[in-house]
Amino acid sequence: MNRPYNFSAGPAAIPAEVLQQAASEMLDWHGSGMGVMEMSHRGKEFLSIYQQAEADLRTLLAVPANFKILFMQGGGLAENAIVPLNLSRAAAVDFVVTGSWSQKSQKEARKYASEVNIAASSQDSDFTTLPAPATWNLSRGASYLHICSNETINGTEFHELPDLKALGTDAPLVIDFSSHVASRSVDWSRVGLAFGGAQKNLGPAGLTLVVVREDLLGHALPACPSAFDYKTVADNESMYNTPPTWGIYVAGLTFQWLLRQREGELTGVAAMEQRNIAKAQLLYNTIDASQLYVNKVAANCRSRMNIPFFLRDESRNDAFLAGARERGLLQLKGHKSVGGMRASIYNAMPLAGVQALVDYMREFEQKRA
């Protein structure tokens, strides 16, 4: 297949192999006479899909046995409410605000927590840096601390998760890893709960992944809807209500695709991490060597997944985007809140796609020098 390269931030590109398999099984899954979208979520056919997807994800992300994997709905925005409904215990919670998504998260949490403490913020740098954990002003007895470990819009990423115990707190760490899940390993010893919408790196929109430590279950506020109570969802193996069956199926195919990936002796997420480092370095090196393009994020916290960049002469933006579309380089326009350009280079984006973008960027600059 000769498809364009899709740099959308989400819903984002899905591996072609996954799309082809889903298409081939659309009308008849494994001889069942039904497509996945037509199956009962409690039937043996779909339960086998769900169980395989959960097992593959646990293997892929090396999720420890004392964590529950939940397949939910509502996306990351809904989790901004569902997390405090489950974990705040109506007490104080801490936030580190590093961009648009963590800013939205802390605003939503104020509806449910008794107090929201901004332990640190990088707003003064226009969200182009990350505050060092040693500088965070943590609350005593906070129910949890929330970070967005990869800011999709602003293009910053925590390359190492903070060690909250070393910072003197027993508060569990909550991470929104929507836009870099499965692109790198997770140090689960430092995490209490991780959540993310699937539509960036795992599959179609409509599925939300929650990975939560078992000891954090069972503390939902009385006002928490039953379908959003993590303990209820866990006790019912994500089947308390009808789950997003198609999303789980396609995500399951994506998990299998990821497990098959190889880079030398590396497999799975380790292979993807090496590949993602190479893709990001290629694009950042091109931007940094250019007289036309600029990335404003500090080098030590640049995202590997979402790379915003700007033309120094913004009158050329429309011409740049038009030329990119002609080359089959799609959805490079930056988020409306920040402008410029953005290349999201998730797991499904091959190195060849980044190379094609780099070649175009160099040609565009040379012709307009």
The question of whether 176 is a catalytic residue gets the answer yes
Catalytic member of 68, 94, 200, 279: 200
Give the C-alpha separation, 141 to 235, whole Å: 28
Choose among 74, 96, 101, 99: nearest CA to 85: 74
Give the C-alpha separation, 343 to 75, whole Å: 22
Choose among 218, 247, 212: nearest CA to 79: 212
Give the C-alpha separation, 120 to 131, whole Å: 7
Catalytic member of 29, 56, 94, 101: 101
* Torsions phi, psi for 140 (to 5 deg): -80, 125
Q: Which two tokens stand for residue 305?
A: 């997944």
Residue 199: which residues within 8 A CB-CB, separation 6 or more? 10, 11, 12, 75, 205, 206, 207
Question: Using an 8 Å Cβ cutoff, are 118 and 147 in contact?
Answer: no
Most distant CA pair in the chain, distance: 63
Catalytic member of 176, 229, 257, 279: 176
Kindly give the pairing relationship between strand 306-311 and strand 293-294.
antiparallel
Question: Using an 8 Å Cβ cutoff, are 85 and 221 in contact?
Answer: yes
Give the C-alpha separation, 107 to 125, whole Å: 20
- Active site residue ranges: 101, 176, 200
